[in-house]
Every structure is written in C-alpha cells, then in structure tokens.
Amino acid sequence: MEIRSILTAIVGIAQEVIGVVFGVLAVMLFLDLLEVQTVFNMPPELLPLYLLILGLFSFFSIISGFFLIREWRGKT
Amino acid sequence: MANERKLGLFSAIIMGLSGAIGFEIFALLNYAYFDLAGPSMISALLFCGIINLITMFSYSELSAALPTVGGEYTYTKVAFGGFISFMAGCLRWLASVFGGALAAVVFVNQLGVLFSVFAPSIQDLVLVNASLLIVGLVIILIFLSIRGVEEATTLIVAAFLAIFIIFLAMSLGYTLTPQNIVPEASGSSLAVFFATAAYIFPMFVGMRALVAGAPQIKNPGKNVPRALMITTILLTVVYFAVAFVAVGAVPLSMPRTAEDPPLLNLAASTIMGPIGAILFALAGIIASVSSVGTAMTVQSSILGGMSRDGYLPKVLEKAHKRFGTRYLAIIASSLFVIFFGTSGAVEFLGYAASFGSLLVFALVNLSLIQLRRKMPRLDRPFKAPLYPLTPLAGIVMSVLLLTFPVILRDVNAESALLSSFGMVAIVLVTYYLRMVKREVDFNRIRVAVGGICFGVGVTLIVLTPVIVAPSMFLIMILAGLVSILAGIINILVSAHKID
C-alpha cells in the first residue's frame, strides 16, 4: 500500500509538471516566443495540429495528475 | 414490444450490401488513384476487405451473443458501461455526419457529370451553385425523413449490381492490364498504401447496417455471421473487379484536366460511351441522395438513443406528433451535414468519415476482448476464430490506418483529424456536464481520463520515433510512460468503484 501511495504521488506530480511544460510550450509555439517555431523547424501549416496535440495532452495530463495527487493526499 | 424476426439469410445479405454499396465508390477512388497510391489502390481495396473481414468476426460474435437493437452502442455498453458506449455512439454519429456531408457533395458532383454529357452550360450552373444545391437537398430530405419515407433499398442494390455487371462485361472487349497494382516494398510506398487504405475504408463500413438490423433476422446466431462473411467477400470481389477495370481503362499516363469527371465516371464513358457516363452519373445521384437520407435517419436514431439513456438532452428524443419520427434530432444532425457538406471538400470528408469508423471498429474489437473476460459464460452461437489474434489484429490495423495519413502529412487527413478531435472534445465536455449535473459518479470521469491518458501515452511512444527529433526522443518517451502509468493507476483505483 505504501509503495502504491508513493508511486501515485510521483506519477501525479510528474504528470502535473509534464502537463504544465507542454502547456507552456504550446503557448510559446503559438506566440513564437524565443523563435521556438524556427528552433523546432516547424512548418507553419502544421502549427495548428501541434498546438491541438500539445493542448489536449497538457489538458488531460493536468487533470489526470490532479486526480492522482488528490488520491495521494487523501491517504496521507 | 418484441421484435419480429422475419428476414432470412438472403435478406440479411441484401441488407449488408445495401448499407455498403453506395456513393463512396464514386467519390473516394478518385483521390486514392490520382493523388495517393496510383494502381496499387487496387491492393489497398483488398487490404480494406481483409481488415473489414477481421472486424466482422468480432461483429458476428457480438451480434449473435447480443442480438438486440443498438449495434456498437450496445456492445460497448455491455462491455465497458457508460462512457465508452457514449464515445462509441458519438463516434458513430460523427462518422455518419461526415459520411452524409460527403454524400451531399457527391450528389452535386454527379449532377454536374450528368449535365456535362448533354448540357455543359447547366453543368457550370450546378457547380457554381453547389452550396445552394446541398442546402436544398438536405432541407428536402429533412422533410422526407420527418415524414418517415421508406427507401427501396433492395431495388437500389439490384440496380447497382446490374450496372457494375454491365460495366465489367463490356470491359471484356478491352485488353486491360493495369501495371504496378502491388505496392513497392519501400517505407514511403507502404506508408502511402496504408494512407490510401484509410481513405477508401468508408466504402466497406456501411455493411454494419446488417448488425443494426440483426433483431429482424431469423436465427441470428447463424444467419448474421454468415451474412456478414458473405457480404464482405462479395463486396471485396465487386470493388476489386470494378477498380481493376477502372484503373485499366484510365491509366495514369492518360492526359487529364481539372474539369474531368471522377475516375469511375471517366472509366464508364471510356468503356461504355455516353450511355455509360449517363448511367453511372444517375447511379451516383441516386446513391448519394439515398445515403444522405439514410445518414440523417441513422443520426437521429443515435441521438435519440443517447438522449433516452440520459446522455443528451431529452428534447432530442421528442417525436413528431403526426409521423412519430424524432424530428428535432433529424434537424440537429442535418445542420451539421449542411455545415460540412457546403465545404465541398471530398478528400477531407472522406478521411473524417473513415477516422470515426476506424475508431468505432477498434472499440468493437476491444469490447469483444472485454466481454470474453467479463462474461465468459455468455451464450455465444458464433465465436470469432483465432481469438485473441483476430480482435487484436483488428485494433492494430485500425490504429495503423489512423496513423499513416497523418505521418504522411496529408493536409486533408490533418484537417480531418483536427475536426474530429474538436468534435470529440465537445463530446467529452458534454459527457462531463451531463454526469456532474446528474451527480452520478466522479469515478466514471476519472476512468475516462485514465483511459485517455493511457491511449495518449501509447500513441506518443509509437509516434515518437517517427515524428520527433532525436534530441527530444527521451523526453517524449518519458512523457509517454508517465502518461501510461497515470492512466493505469487512475483506472485501477476508480474502475471497481463504478457500479
């Protein structure tokens, strides 16, 4: 039970971090901050697709991470 | 009220054929041949036939074990419960909306082809006013659907088969030897091959009509699986033969202009002369009008069913006082058909209809696996052979077909995927709002999010080697693994709390 609780916390926090990073990356891509579109060599016609994928991944990661952290906090 | 079982094997086969043989052959072969795979499109048709056959094994087992109304919606509901069946219903509805919109576009195109034979000036008028014609067609069909007009499906299937047989018979007078019908064994050729298969896949999916009609079939345990198998084989043979002749009659080297009719019409006029052009255009018009009507009925039935189960507002279930049809569901679905149909984008709509259907196929195969585990003692008059290989192969192939057009960066596929994602996001929000409003179960949402994370994680790991730069490789794999783990934990913790 202890191991499962630790695993839940680690995965939950990791997912929150990944979700936030992907979300920030999506915003940076959209605004082309620090010329990230050039850095990632991104064709302009594919930008909406990448934004959508990053946005959805970020959204579901944050929600899922939130559920896991909620589960972990409920047990501690 | 008990369903009356009065249809035999022959009627069941006709039911499957009438669902499958339709306008798609007029629309989809063109882009597949001229812009994607060339002559190897013929092999892609065979490949689609095999995938269809594999998934039909699953359909056969499920329809024989659960011969009630609802088809995919019922299978996923029994196997997984609320959310997945809601998704399956929505995806089926989505595929039907895109399919109906595609049929409306084909109607206008075939009308143009018909007039091009004897009145080119009217053809221009048709093409210029395409959007207006689509809106007009859908409005007329809304009225007919609300009135509940019966379709002469058997007659349409017989007419289609007769036209194809005449076409094939007349082609015997020509020496047709299409070259390169087998794709080259290189990565890019195979990728194009899979993308082509994904694009033309909607030509087969209509035979699910047979499953929807299973409650009317006598001895469904035997007749439905047999009819599904026979229909798949018949369809594959007919499509293969027609495509083979069409590709032989219209080689890629033939000079072509943008005003030329689609591949099948071109082949018909090459082999049968002006009569062939008129005959095929008329067949295309009848098939597309029939398909738009059928799509609207199917959509209203899906929306009505989900509304009855409490997933959608009750108002969609409301029946017309005089005709007894779900008129608000028909009107709501028709608005989407008009919206996408007036885009006129055949290629986009083809991919979009295909994506929805492929996801439903994957869900049906998953349901089969789940039901074998969850209800091992369920009476199964037919069992899918080579279990679990067949449903697993069906899932893998569906995912492959979904993935390759995007890897190829086909702009039509990307737009279709974007639109489908957008619609699925709306679906998720709708589900969430409905569930919260009804205060049913937080755990269902958690399982749903867990499933999405698991799926996204697997997709990320599969796609990373193909689309991500080597410098980002490890980060993406790590993100994928975390997502999979999170998905598993969320599902494990919450799944058993759902009643």
Please give the model's pTM, rounded to 2 decimal places.
0.70
* DSSP collapsed to 3 states, chain B: CCCCCCECHHHHHHHHHHHHCCCHHHHHHHHHHHHHHHHHHHHHHHHHHHHHHHHHHHHHHHHHHCCCCCCHHHHHHHHHCHHHHHHHHHHHHHHHHHHHHHHHHHHHHHHHHHHHHHCHHHHHHHHHCHHHHHHHHHHHHHHHHHHCCCCCHHHHHHHHHHHHHHHHHHHCCCCCCCCCCCCCCCHHHHHHHHHHHHHHCHHHHHHHHHHHCHHHECCHHHHHHHHHHHHHHHHHHHHHHHHHHHHHHCCCCCCCCCCCCCHHHHHHHHHHHHHHHHHHHHHHHHHHHHHHHHHHHHHHHHHHHHHHCCCCCHHHHCCCCCCCCCHHHHHHHHHHHHHHHCCCCHHHHHHHHHHHHHHHHHHHHHHHHHHHHHCCCCCCCCCCCCCCHHHHHHHHHHHHHHHHHHHCCCHHHHHHHHHHHHHHHHHHHHHHHHHHHHCCCHHHHHHHHHHHHHHHHHHHHHHHHHHCCHHHHHHHHHHHHHHHHHHHHHHHHHHCCCC
In terms of domains, do B55 and B182 share one?
Answer: yes
**B364 and B481 housed in the same domain:** no
Residue B157 has pLDDT above 60, yes or no: yes
In a domain, B4, yes or no: no
Give whole-number Cα distances, B242 to B128, B170, B227, B265, B498, in Å: 31, 12, 22, 12, 50
Range of the domain at B478: 443-499
> Which pLDDT does position B440 carry in this prediction?
52
Indicate if the pLDDT at residue B2 is higher than 50.
no
Average pLDDT over residues B360-380: 89
The partner residues of B217 in beta bridges, in order of sequence, read: B7
Same domain? For B310 and B453 the reply is no
Question: Do residues B403 and B459 share a domain?
Answer: no
Q: What residues in A contact B402, CB-CB < 8 Å?
A: none
Q: What is the per-residue pLDDT across B210-265, written as a single tens digit (0 to 9) for each? A: 776 676 778 877 888 888 888 888 888 888 899 888 888 888 877 777 677 888 88
A15 closest CB neighbour out of B446, B469, B486: B486
Q: Which residues of B384-410 are buried (b: 16+ CB within 10 A; e: fewer)?
A: beeeeebbbbbbebbbebbbbbbebeb
- Asked if B101 and B82 count as a contact pair (C-beta separation under 8 A), the reply is no
Confidence of residue B152 (pLDDT cuts 50, 70, 90): low
Q: Are residues B391 and B488 in the same domain?
A: no
CATH number, residue B239:
1.20.1740.10
Domain check: are B225 and B147 in the same one? yes
Of B25, B112, B36, B98, the residue nearest B343 (C-alpha)? B98
User: Do B305 and B452 have their domain in common?
Assistant: no
B312 pLDDT higher than 80: no
Yes or no, beta carbons of B418 and A64 under 8 Å apart: no
**Residues of chain A found within 8 Å of residue B493, distances taken between Cβ atoms:** 8, 71
Give A18's contacts in chain B (Cβ within 8 Å).
479, 482-483
**Do B489 and B350 lie in a common domain?**
no
Q: Are residues B414 and B451 in the same domain?
A: no
Average pLDDT taken over every residue of chain B:
81
**Among B399, B424, B440, where does a domain finish?**
B440
My answer on whether B363 and B288 are in the same domain is: yes
In a domain, B3, yes or no: no
Q: Please check whether residue A42 touches B, CB under 8 A.
A: no
Weakest-pLDDT range from B53-62, B289-298, B407-416, B485-494: B407-416
Domain boundary among B422, B440, B458: B440
Q: Are B414 and B480 members of one domain?
A: no
Question: Which residue in B has a C-alpha nearest to residue A12's C-alpha?
Answer: B486
Determine the residue of chain A that is closest to B484 in CA distance.
Answer: A11
CB-CB neighbors (< 8 A) of B453 in chain A = 15, 60-61, 64
Domain ranges of chain A: 2-75
A72 at the B interface (CB within 8 A)? no
Mutation site, B427, B460, B482, B485, interface A, largest A CB count within 10 A: B482
Count structural domains, chain B: 2
Condensed to tens digits (0 to 9), the pLDDT of residues B393-439 reads: 989 888 888 888 877 777 777 777 777 777 777 677 667 666 655 54
Of B440, B458, B482, the domain-final residue = B440
> What ipTM score was computed for the predicted complex, to two decimals?
0.85
Residue B369's pLDDT is what? 92
| B-proximal residues of A, 12-31, CB under 8 Å | 12, 14-15, 18, 22
Q: What is the rounded CA–CA span in Å between residue B13 and residue B17? A: 6
Q: Do B327 and B397 share a domain, yes or no? A: yes
